A = this chain, B = another copy of it.
């Protein structure tokens, strides 16, 4: 591996000069030398050692993103937004997948700190776990105290900037739509109960229920994994335990799609017999049949905003900023009034 010293030697200059030319330092350098150095770089296929540079310069450049799983469309969309902004700022993004293991989240914060990340962005639901939340928060604070920036997406318990989707309000939209259509026997296909996203969305749903003089009993809610197969199994449980169900509210689109596929396999018509509403409005939502009625969250935009916050110059007022993002109901074909009403 060619080093700067090699280049300098080859060009017959000092490492200092070579460095200045290669990095375009403000210090003026004669054209003759410049050309010689550049030629040497080319011949030696020299690429500066990023670690050495980082060490010598001592200023952070990369930013870290911690998500549950990039291959989940929810995070994929967020990541897309994040990356776009990061790239505009010339930042390298390090993506860390926790695969929903809170401990990994902790580990990755350390790793990112070790790598001198300029900012850490935590995307995805928080956990209902006092102990964990506290530990994470402590780690994040330490990181911040050494000049690191922090932004979180979809959680509020933490220090640092935050982009917060209207999960509760979105849940309320789902409820308002369903109860408004006349459904009373609603099943909820929920994600893991230890995720705040799940509970926030359900809280909104509950509020809507109350407003319509209804109530959500524990048995109407089935918790499962936040993915397609979790949606399918939760739906199966619901079908078996809640006869007369006319609507299913899935707490994200992946689960809704799982629900759709299970209903289809049981020969149940959607929305004829049962309505289904999802959450997030992932791109696929419009491609399933029936096209999924869902709550739209501007995921890519949320990612972009979080990155923007994180990359902001050292806080003007030193106060973490919180951006709320609205949820919006997108009516498609999977929801309708219950059969009896028609």
Contacts and interface: CB of A to CB of B under 8 A. Distances in A.
A55 interface: yes
A287 interface: yes
Nearest to A83: B97
Nearest to A116: B51
A284 B287 CA distance: 9
Given A70-B70, A77-B71, A146 B114 contact: no
A261 interface: yes
A12 interface: no
A214 interface: no
Contacts of A80: 69, 71
A114 B287 contact: no
A95 interface: yes
A10 interface: no
A90 to B, nearest CB: 11
A50 B289 contact: no
A180 interface: no
Which of A50, A54, A79, A146 is most buried by chain B, counting CB atoms within 10 A of its CB? A50
Interface residues of A, number: 47
Interface string A266-305: 0000000000000000011011111000000000000000
Contact of A228 (B50, B116, B287): B287
Interface in A37-91: 45, 47-55, 69-73, 76-77, 79-80, 83
Contact of A55 (B55, B71, B116): B55
B55 A49 contact: yes
Given A55-B55, A71-B79, A114 B289 contact: no
Nearest to A45: B142
A287 B115 contact: no
A289 to B, nearest CB: 3
A161 interface: no
Interface of A: 1, 45, 47-55, 69-73, 76-77, 79-80, 83, 92-95, 97, 110-111, 113-116, 142, 146-147, 228, 257, 260-261, 264, 283-284, 286-290
